[in-house]
Amino acid sequence: MKPTQTYPDTHQDHISSFLPLPNINPHQVLTTSGDCTLSILDVRKSNAIAISEDQEDELLCSSFADDSRRICVGTQSGFITVWKTGEWMDHVDRISPPGKVRKGDEPANVDCMVRLNDKVIIGLSDGWINAVEFRPNRHGDVVGRCADGVTCLSSVPQEQDWVISASGSRVKFWDTKKEETGDAEYEEEADSSEEDKLKKRRKVGNEKAKLKGVDAGTSLSSFFADL
């Protein structure tokens, strides 16, 4: 089977997300890219019908905002840029990275997002899952946290307030109406990881103690030969 349409040179780097635009034009789709631009493709055209200016920030994910007239895009720097449909050269607003960033630290990437009712839920590379609200634009409630970065988010059609997250090898369901419960689970996962590290350190310590117990006149080669 051959593709109906191909766009080989729309971007100079990987495509990071697709967003169909059914309420604007059923033939069009928005793409974001690691080359710091977004584009609008129309399946009836052989070339992109619009390409944004260089945003000087890698664009990682995209979603409709609170209505069909605005698009939000997650970036590598942690900012969320807001775009008005039909005005694709540059964003019209942006939302700062969530939370406080310690001096010397880089903000977490906004790696994925999904629209949920009148909000957008975002997944960050440091494991946090946050809600973003609009009018005014601001960060809302914390949904939860995973031990690893959040790589994928999806809504649950049967449950209007639920989202699904993927983080490492774990898949989790979150009820966004409940109070944030991710910290306890995150601590449990982090504690498990620390426990594994502690076991490794103890094992290395025991092996060193054995080596120290060998007579000074005994070579390491003969010591290991006796094991």
Confidence label for 179 from pLDDT (cuts 50, 70 and 90):
low
Do 170 and 204 fall within a single domain? no
Is there a domain that residue 87 lies in?
yes
Q: Are residues 71 and 175 in the same domain?
A: yes
Q: What is the chain's length?
A: 227
pLDDT score of 56:
96
Between 88 and 218, name the one with better pLDDT: 88
Amino acid at site 160: Q
Structural domain of residue 194, as residue ranges? 181-227
Are 125 and 186 in a shared domain? no
Q: Is 162 a residue whose pLDDT tops 80?
A: yes
Residues 93 and 203 in one domain: no
In a domain? residue 7 = no
Same-domain status, 114 and 100: yes
Alpha helices in the chain (DSSP H): 182-212, 220-225
Specify whether 19 is located in the same domain as 124. Answer: yes
What mean pLDDT comes out for the span 65-77? Answer: 91
78 plus 143 within the same structural domain: yes
Position 199: which residue type?
Answer: K
Say which range, 1-5, 124-128, 189-193, has the weakest mean pLDDT.
189-193
Q: In this structure, are 188 and 223 located in the same domain?
A: yes
- Residue at 185 is within a domain: yes
d(C-alpha 85, C-alpha 57), whole Å: 20
| pLDDT, position 67 | 76
Q: Does residue 72 sit within a domain?
A: yes
The pLDDT, as a whole number, for residue 160 is 86
Residue 26 structure tokens: 């059923």
Residue 46, domain CATH: 2.130.10.10
Q: What residues contact 130, with CB distance under 8 A and at least 6 apart?
A: 98, 121, 122, 124, 139, 140, 141, 142, 143
Provide the domain count of the chain. 2
| Mean pLDDT of the 132-141 span | 89
Segment 1-23 mean pLDDT = 93
Of 14-18, 97-101, 144-148, 190-194, highest mean pLDDT: 14-18
Residue 44 has what pLDDT? 94
Q: Which of 11-20, 93-102, 170-179, 208-217 has the highest mean pLDDT?
A: 11-20
Q: Per the domain annotation, does 4 fall within a domain? A: no
Give the model's pLDDT for residue 135.
84
Q: What sign does the dihedral 198-201-202-203 (CA atoms) show?
A: positive
Residues 139 and 189 in one domain: no
- DSSP SS3 for 89: coil
Residue 6 inside a domain? The answer is: no
Is the Cβ–Cβ distance between 122 and 129 less than 8 Å?
Answer: yes
Instruction: Return the pLDDT at 158.
Output: 83
Are residue 204 and residue 135 in the same domain, yes or no? no
Q: Are 122 and 74 in contact (CB under 8 A)?
A: yes
pTM, whole model, 2 decimals? 0.77
- 133 and 169 part of one domain: yes
Q: Are residues 146 and 223 in the same domain?
A: no
